[in-house]
Amino acid sequence: MTFAPPVLRLSASQYERIVGHCYEGLPDEACGLLAGPVGEVRGAREATGHVSEVYPAVNADASARTYTVDGRDYLRASRDAEARGDEIIGVWHSHTHTDPYPSPTDVRSAVDPMWIYVIVSLRDESPMLRAYRIRDGVVGECQVVSMP
C-alpha cells in the first residue's frame, strides 16, 4: 500500500529562517531540522506536516557537496522538540548549484521513512524550496503550503 505524502505547512517566518540559513551557509551546503507533531495513519506513525519549530544546524562536513547535521545540534533540537511534545520530523539542506531534488547520496542516506526531506536550491536568483518523502529508495514529492 502506498501512503499519500504529508503536506508540509511552513509559516512565512519558518520559510525565511530556512532559506536565510541556506544563504548564510554559502559557499557550503547548509542544513537544519524540523520539529512537529506526529500522528497515526492506518496504524503507522506519520508526520502531520505541521511544523512547530525549525532548528538551523551546523554542517559538520563544512562542504559545498555534502552535509552532516552536527550531532550536538541534533541532540539539542531533539530535546527541545520532545519538551514541546513533538518530534523531529525532517531535515532540510541546500543544493548550492543543482536542482531542488534529492541526489543519489540523499536517497541512500535517508534516515527515517517518516521524515520530510526539504531541499532548497540556490542555483537560480530565487531560492526553490521543495519537500520529499524518501521511503525504501523511492522519492515522493510533498506539497508545500505557506501558512500565515
Partner 1 sequence: MMAVEVRLPTLLRVHADGAASVHADGTTVGEVFAALTAEHPGLANQLVDGEGVLHKFVNVYVNDDDIRYLDKLATPVTDRDVVSILPAVAGG
What distance in Å separates the CA atoms of residue 78 and residue 96, rounded to the nearest whole number? 27
Q: Which amino acid appears at position 85 of this protein?
A: G
- How many residues at the interface with partner 1, by CB under 8 A? 31
Strands 116-121 and 128-135: antiparallel
Select from 53, 66, 101, 123 the one that contacts partner 1 (CB under 8 A): 66
Helix (H, G, I), strand (E, B) or coil at 61: coil
Is residue 71 at the binding interface for partner 1, with CB under 8 A as the rule?
A: yes
* Max Cα–Cα distance, the chain, nearest Å: 43
Find the shortest distance in angstroms from Cβ 7 to partner 1. Answer: 20
Is residue 34 at the binding interface for partner 1, with CB under 8 A as the rule?
A: no
Select from 13, 105, 143, 146 the one that contacts partner 1 (CB under 8 A): 105
Between 13 and 120, CB nearer to partner 1 = 120
Residue 1, C-alpha cell as written in the block: 500500500
Find the shortest distance in angstroms from Cβ 148 to partner 1. Answer: 29
Is residue 28 at the binding interface for partner 1, with CB under 8 A as the rule?
A: no
- 112 contacts: CB under 8 Å, gap ≥ 6: none
Residue 25, C-alpha cell as written in the block: 551557509
Return residues touching partner 1 (CB under 8 A): 31, 33, 38, 45, 61, 65-69, 71-72, 74-75, 78, 82, 87-88, 91, 93, 102-106, 109-112, 114, 117
